[in-house]
A and B are shown apart, each in its own frame.
Chain A
Amino acid sequence: MTDQTLPIPASEPARRKPASRHVIGWLQAAPLALVLAVFLVAPIVMIVVVSFWGATEFSIYPAFQFDNYAFLFGSDVTYRVFANTFKYALITWIFTLLIGFTVAYFLAFHVRSLTWQIALFLLCTIPFWTSNIIRMISWIPFLGREGLANSTLLSWGVIDAPLEWLLFSDFSVILAFVHLYTLFMVVPIFNTMMRIDKSLIEAAADAGATGWQTLWHVIIPLTKPGIMIGTIFVVTLVMGDFITVRFMSGSQSANVGRMIQNDVGLLQYPSAAATAVILLITVLLVIGILLRFVDIRKEL
């Protein structure tokens, strides 16, 4: 890794010998490195190791066998569940992108005072700091069989009987995903948009571009890094989720996270670990593809 590609420019005055720079750097980074080693690297290693272990009904034992993977790849369920996971990720991505982009665009280009921009932006981000579980629960009065949506539609005469698919269905799962994760799109897109030089937009207008042309040929290309970062957030959060699917589908749909959680519930840790390894590889592949479009380190 060369110096130019590091996230942080050497903004500290260089007055020490290089050797002590590395030593002090590592001393300062030691707590961080320690936490990541124990609670990130070691768990991943552990999962990879355990994915080759065997399990009885009550316990797991060390081994080196490919049974868990063989079973995983030999089962139709695996492919269906993975396909379902991708489906959730794709649909959620489309909605969060469209909504997030529009919201960020409004904030960045149509709200004129900085104070208002910050205030409205905060309003969009505050739910991020509250409980996801509560935010899921709060859909019950809306979507339930006797919920607001059904009773409103009934009273308007749009439907004759309550819609059953509003709650505990793919619909409610995706609705909850969009509800929970759109702000992960809004924040990075707004952040990139705020850095766009406003004179570029004036230039486009002066050159005769319509509003749509400016949007398509100027703003969207310049916003791409923000879109990519938002995409990475949304896709990884949805692909790794298990609780939203569990709660909002009423255990009727499955994704990979649910599969892992099921195995854990049955104490089949090696099988859960094998699924987790495949999930991790899948997520990293997706991120790897997305990172080809953006250099995260430049965006900080």
Chain B
Amino acid sequence: MEPRPRSFYVLATFFVLFLAFLYGPTITIAILSFQGPSGGLTFPMRGTSLHWFRDLFEQQAVGDIWGSFSRSLVLGLMVMVTTVVVSIMGGLAFRKRFAGSGVLFYLIITSLVIPSILVSLGVGLIWSQAGLNVHWSTSGFGAQLTWTLPFGLLIMFAVFNRFDPSFEEAAHDLGASPWQTIRHVVLPIIAPSLIGVALFGFTLSYDEFARSLLTSGSYNTLPLEIFGMTTNVTTPVIFALGTLTTLFSFIVIGIFLLIVWLTDRRRKRSGSDAGKGLV
């Protein structure tokens, strides 16, 4: 292999600095969340302790953290399942070039680029004019879907763009019904991408703020709760909460990536070698 040019080292340094910029603040609050009981929001550390984590688990003076966490978790799972199902169906639909699919495509793009506050405000207005109470599981759920679905669909578009239709033709020739073709041919092939869609669906919902703000009602989701805390909590307890929820996100991301990696490996190991000898 030829030696690295000097530009490599310059760019590598830049890249490392970028990663430090990206992760530095998060790591800092992780360290600071172990502040001693008399410590503040900045360095220096006044001893180390689990004081602020204990605060989170014990007293409820800082708000309804566990309630909001469980709401965010349930909502995240609801959004995840819906995003996966609707994205698969949407992805399949767009392959049919049905009349009006162009309009629908532009709506998906609009959903992605529209300022979140418009969705929040508009959904909130509809609910209030209809005399309904906004709730995270109805209006909040729908508002979040406008953010997760475009990502899910764009992934599905990319997947089906690269999808070899001869698999389906083969299934059809062997007598498979359309449903059997989807169930036993299409879905297994696109499975790793679906895990990606699920990852987007869950994490984007779990962290969503702007579109939930005016649509979630009196029971806060976790990001809303955390934002509420920023105005009245001035102790490292907020860092402890931030560290825990970021850690939770990392674990979720890790699980998803692990599943992708495992399916990929299993497929490589047990996959058919048909056709390989021909090239």
Q: Is A120 an interface residue (CB 8 A)?
A: yes
Q: How far is the CB of A107 from chain B (nearest CB, A)?
A: 8
Is B111 a contact of A40 with CB atoms below 8 Å?
Answer: yes
Is A138 a contact of B161 with CB atoms below 8 Å?
Answer: no
Q: How many A-B residue pairs have CB under 8 A?
A: 298
**Interfacial residues of chain A within 275-291, with CB under 8 A of chain B in the complex:** 276, 279-280, 283, 287
Is B7 a contact of A211 with CB atoms below 8 Å?
Answer: yes
Q: How far is the CB of B37 from chain A (nearest CB, A)?
A: 18
Q: How far is the CB of B203 from chain A (nearest CB, A)?
A: 4
Q: Is A80 an interface residue (CB 8 A)?
A: no
Is A32 a contact of B41 with CB atoms below 8 Å?
Answer: no
Interface centre among A40, A135, A183 (most CB of B within 10 A): A40
Cβ contacts under 8 Å, B108 to chain A: 32, 36
Is A273 a contact of B121 with CB atoms below 8 Å?
Answer: yes
Is A40 a contact of B146 with CB atoms below 8 Å?
Answer: yes
Is B142 a contact of A283 with CB atoms below 8 Å?
Answer: no
Contact of B98 among A22, A182, A242, A287 (CB under 8 A): A22
Is A261 a contact of B117 with CB atoms below 8 Å?
Answer: yes
Instruction: Give residues in A with beta carbon < 8 Å to B.
Output: 1, 3, 5-13, 15, 21-33, 35-36, 38-44, 46-47, 50, 99, 102-103, 105-107, 110, 112, 120, 122-124, 126-127, 129-135, 137-142, 144, 146-148, 151, 179, 182-183, 211, 232-233, 236, 239-243, 247, 257, 260-261, 264, 269, 272-273, 276, 279-280, 283, 287, 296-297, 300
Cβ contacts under 8 Å, B157 to chain A: 7-8, 300
Q: A8-B97, A40-B110, A130-B207 are in contact. Are A144 and B42 (CB under 8 A)?
A: yes
Q: How far is the CB of B88 from chain A (nearest CB, A)?
A: 9
Is B11 a contact of A130 with CB atoms below 8 Å?
Answer: no
Cβ contacts under 8 Å, B153 to chain A: 32
Interface residues on chain B, size class: 35 or more
The closest CB in chain B to the CB of A9 belongs to: B161
Q: How far is the CB of A21 from chain B (nearest CB, A)?
A: 5
Q: How far is the CB of A172 from chain B (nearest CB, A)?
A: 12
C-alpha gap A131/B25 in the complex (Å): 13
Q: Which of B52-60, B238-246, B268-276 sits within the interface?
A: B238-246
The closest CB in chain B to the CB of A151 belongs to: B43
Q: A38-B142, A138-B26, A141-B32 are in contact. Are A6 and B101 (CB under 8 A)?
A: yes
Given contacts A127-B26, A130-B203, 10 further A-B contacts (CB under 8 A): A6-B105, A40-B110, A46-B126, A47-B118, A103-B14, A106-B14, A131-B206, A133-B227, A142-B28, A144-B41
